[in-house]
């Protein structure tokens, strides 16, 4: 039972909204100590694991390019492009990105997206631009809500698209694990059984995007029409 | 041969630049904390493979202390004004998208072609790391395209990169830290204890109860571990194989495939999956740390219910 003390640290730490980096480090050190490692061994194990997972940080190498393009007006341009399409709404922009992201992930092209490469420079400005285009300037609260939805679309679409591709990590993990237990399965069959969930994910999340459009319309059209000179954002 | 190590060196040099720009920015009240934080992070990339593990651990703990107790700040100087950006966007038009789209295009091209590239009979790129190396190369190519097109001052990429690194802040390191935590959980055998508890306390007497326990268990344990890959072996060995498959005769393919996807529902709902749920909050400069999770919870819960129904309908019929 003492081994679970790390989980307790994590749950309490996140619930109290303490600095996540500190919470995770303390949880790791405590777990190591609880399992009987000495202090030096625990720090070594932590250092080793950190060094071995440096590959997750390679995505940050896109930041200089993205920063450079932002300085040259990339976000502004993304908004202008959307302003030229009268039918564009926040929900529709996100539905199109959802479809592209899910289909490309199903083909194994999971690198064709991501929060740093696509969402911050392109998808979020387009989704915000579509709302501004329809309703005029939007309050920060609404802007943040649209941004959070933009990030969520990237996650949901890739999670429930990638498993249709037979060579993705999770399918290989399932196959490897079952083989260790003496069960042979075909990756194509596993991938096939990812399809029903993928369809459900598409239906559920796209429905929510339709509802997002409606809610934005209610919220923003309502504030602008009756009192155009009003400076308060209380209805938002 | 190009290895991941070369990409790490490049990343380390970039971080040195970020650290240096921070040191010279008096508009950031906590500039020395930022300088130390990114400087230490640079060390893990430049010499991490050669450092003793204990020294790496100390460097990492140093970073955590600077970020949590010292706190990081952000400079207020911007190299461009909104008006300048509007003007530049109007002048450059859709050409601005070219470098941005170069990143996925080159990554893709590299992933498919670099495995065939040979130089004097030796593979040009480490075949085990093609995708990651392609991503690293793609950022370099995109940067060159951007520099040629925009002709900014030479230091601009580092300065602008610094602006974004500081916007993301310590969240940039969190995914790696969580991977390290996962490794320590594995060493300590946390998974086994959880599976034992689940087996002992949960109602598993009927085929339906076994399915619900497995799908919900996958989601919950994924939320704790931050990663469905860590939860899958534990939950499947503890609940799914002995009960759904052996006792109730369920189909192993449906069980495993939908079980993993139930774990993904958990990934949508936990701050432990930092690279998906916390990093975008920082990247998009949202004030609420859990903003993305809040948006994802309804989809996560509905989809978990859908997975449970899919598994129950199909796992026992054949």
Q: Please answer yes or no on whether B176 and A76 come within 8 Å at the CB atom.
A: no
Q: What part of B 100-159 touches A (C-beta under 8 Å)?
A: 100, 103-104, 107-108, 111, 129, 131-132, 134-136, 139-140, 142-143, 146-147, 150, 152, 156-159
B233-249 pLDDT, tens digit per residue, is 888 988 898 889 988 99
With contacts defined as CB-CB under 8 Å, which chain A residues touch B157?
64-65, 67-68
DSSP B173: T
Going from the C-alpha of B172 to that of each of A7, A119, A191, B132, B280, the distances in angstroms are: 22, 16, 32, 17, 10
A131-169 pLDDT, tens digit per residue, is 998 898 999 999 999 999 999 999 999 999 998 887 777
Region of poorest pLDDT, from B123-127, B145-149, B295-299: B123-127
Q: Please answer yes or no on whether A65 and B146 come within 8 Å at the CB atom.
A: yes
Determine the distance in angstroms separating the CA of B96 from the nearest CA of chain A, rounded to an integer. 6
User: Band of the pLDDT at A223, cuts 50, 70, 90?
Assistant: low
Mean predicted confidence (pLDDT) in B138-146? 95
Q: What part of B 21-40 touches A (C-beta under 8 Å)?
A: none
Q: What part of B 41-80 touches A (C-beta under 8 Å)?
A: 44-45, 48-49, 51-61, 63-64, 67-69, 79-80
A99 vs A87: CA distance, rounded Å: 18
Q: What part of B 199-218 touches A (C-beta under 8 Å)?
A: none
Question: Residue A234 in 3-state DSSP?
Answer: coil
With contacts defined as CB-CB under 8 Å, which chain A residues touch B142?
62, 65
C-alpha R_g of chain B: 24
| CA-based nearest residue in chain A for residue B291 | A148
In this predicted structure, what is the pLDDT of residue A101? Answer: 95
User: Band of the pLDDT at B45, cuts 50, 70, 90?
Assistant: very high
By the CB < 8 Å criterion, does B312 face chain A?
Answer: no
In this predicted structure, what is the pLDDT of residue A235? Answer: 40
With a cut of 70, say whether residue B8 has pLDDT above it.
yes
The answer to whether residues B75 and B22 touch, using CB atoms and an 8 Å cutoff, is yes
DSSP B2: B
With a cut of 60, say whether residue A228 has pLDDT above it.
no
Determine the distance in angstroms separating the CA of B122 from the nearest CA of chain A, rounded to an integer. 23
Task: Give, rounded to a whole angstrom, the gap between the first and last alpha carbons of chain A.
Answer: 48
With contacts defined as CB-CB under 8 Å, which chain B residues touch A97?
none
> What is the reported pTM?
0.87
Query: What burial letters (b/e) apply to A67-85, b meaning 16+ CB within 10 Å?
Result: bbbbbbbbbbbbbbbbeee
The full DSSP string for A127-187 is HHHHHHHHHSS--HHHHHHHHHHHHHHHHHHHHHHHTTSTTSHHHHHHHHHHHHTT----H
Lookup: tokens for A111:
């690198």
Determine the distance in angstroms separating the CA of A228 from the nearest CA of chain B, rounded to an integer. 25
Lookup: tokens for A186:
């075909």
**Which residues, at least 6 apart from B202, have a Cβ–Cβ distance to it below 8 Å?**
B209, B213, B217
Q: What is the ipTM of this complex?
A: 0.88
A129 vs A89: CA distance, rounded Å: 9
Mean predicted confidence (pLDDT) in A187-208? 95
User: Band of the pLDDT at B220, cuts 50, 70, 90?
Assistant: very high
| CA-based nearest residue in chain B for residue A3 | B190
Determine the distance in angstroms separating the CA of B1 from the nearest CA of chain A, rounded to an integer. 18
Determine the distance in angstroms separating the CA of A24 from the nearest CA of chain B, rounded to an integer. 7
According to DSSP, the residues that pair with B125 across neighbouring strands are B2
Q: Please answer yes or no on whether A48 and B253 come within 8 Å at the CB atom.
A: no
């Amino acid at each position: 039972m003492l081994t679970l003390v790390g989980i307790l640290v994590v749950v309490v730490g996140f619930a109290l909204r303490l600095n996540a980096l500190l919470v995770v480090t303390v949880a790791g050190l405590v777990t190591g100590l609880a399992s009987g490692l000495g202090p030096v061994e625990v720090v070594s194990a932590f250092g080793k694991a950190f060094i071995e997972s440096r590959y997750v940080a390679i995505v940050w190498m896109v930041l200089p390019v993205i920063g450079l393009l932002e300085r040259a007006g990339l976000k502004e341009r993304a908004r202008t492009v959307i302003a030229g399409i009268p039918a564009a709404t926040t929900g529709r922009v996100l539905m199109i990105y959802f479809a592209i992201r899910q289909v490309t992930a199903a083909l194994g092209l999971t690198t064709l997206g991501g929060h740093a490469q696509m969402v911050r420079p392109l998808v979020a400005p387009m989704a915000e631009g579509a709302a501004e285009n329809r309703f005029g300037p939007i309050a920060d609260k609404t802007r943040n809500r649209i941004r959070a939805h933009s990030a969520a679309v990237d996650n949901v679409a890739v999670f429930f698209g990638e498993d249709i591709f037979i060579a993705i990590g999770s399918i290989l993990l399932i196959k490897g694990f079952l083989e260790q237990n003496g069960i042979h399965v075909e990756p194509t069959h596993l991938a096939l059984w990812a399809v029903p969930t993928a369809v459900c994910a598409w239906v559920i999340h796209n429905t929510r995007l339709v509802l997002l459009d409606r809610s934005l319309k209610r919220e923003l059209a309502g504030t602008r029409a009756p009192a155009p000179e009003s400076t308060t954002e209380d209805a938002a | 041969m190009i290895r991941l190590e070369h990409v790490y060196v490049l990343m380390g040099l970039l971080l040195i630049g970020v650290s240096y720009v921070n040191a010279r920015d008096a508009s950031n009240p906590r500039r020395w904390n930022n300088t130390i934080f990114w400087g230490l992070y640079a060390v893990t990339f430049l010499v991490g493979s050669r450092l003793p593990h204990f020294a790496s651990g100390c460097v990492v703990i140093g970073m955590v202390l600077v970020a949590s107790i010292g706190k990081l700040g952000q400079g207020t100087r911007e190299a461009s004004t909104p008006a300048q950006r509007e003007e530049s966007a109007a002048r450059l038009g859709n050409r601005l998208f070219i470098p941005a789209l170069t990143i996925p295009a080159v990554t893709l091209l590299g992933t498919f072609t670099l495995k065939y590239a040979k130089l004097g009979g030796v593979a040009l790129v480490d075949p085990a790391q093609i995708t990651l190396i392609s991503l690293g190369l793609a950022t370099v190519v995109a940067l060159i395209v951007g520099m040629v097109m925009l002709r900014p001052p030479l230091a601009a990429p580092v300065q602008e990169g610094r602006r974004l690194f500081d916007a993301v802040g310590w969240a940039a390191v969190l995914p790696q830290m969580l991977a390290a935590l996962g490794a320590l959980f594995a060493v300590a055998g946390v998974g086994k204890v959880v599976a034992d508890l689940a087996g002992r306390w949960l109602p598993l007497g009927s085929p339906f109860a076994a399915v619900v326990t497995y799908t919900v268990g996958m989601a919950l344990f994924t939320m704790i571990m931050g990663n469905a890959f860590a939860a899958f072996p534990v939950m499947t060995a503890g609940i799914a194989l002995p009960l759904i498959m052996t006792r109730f005769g369920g189909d192993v393919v449906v069980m495993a495939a939908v079980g993993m996807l139930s774990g993904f529902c958990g990934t949508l709902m936990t701050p432990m999956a930092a690279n998906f749920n916390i990093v975008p909050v920082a990247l998009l400069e949202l004030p609420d740390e859990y903003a993305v999770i809040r948006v994802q919870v309804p989809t996560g819960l509905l989809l978990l219910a859908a997975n449970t129904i899919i598994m129950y309908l199909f796992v026992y019929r054949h």
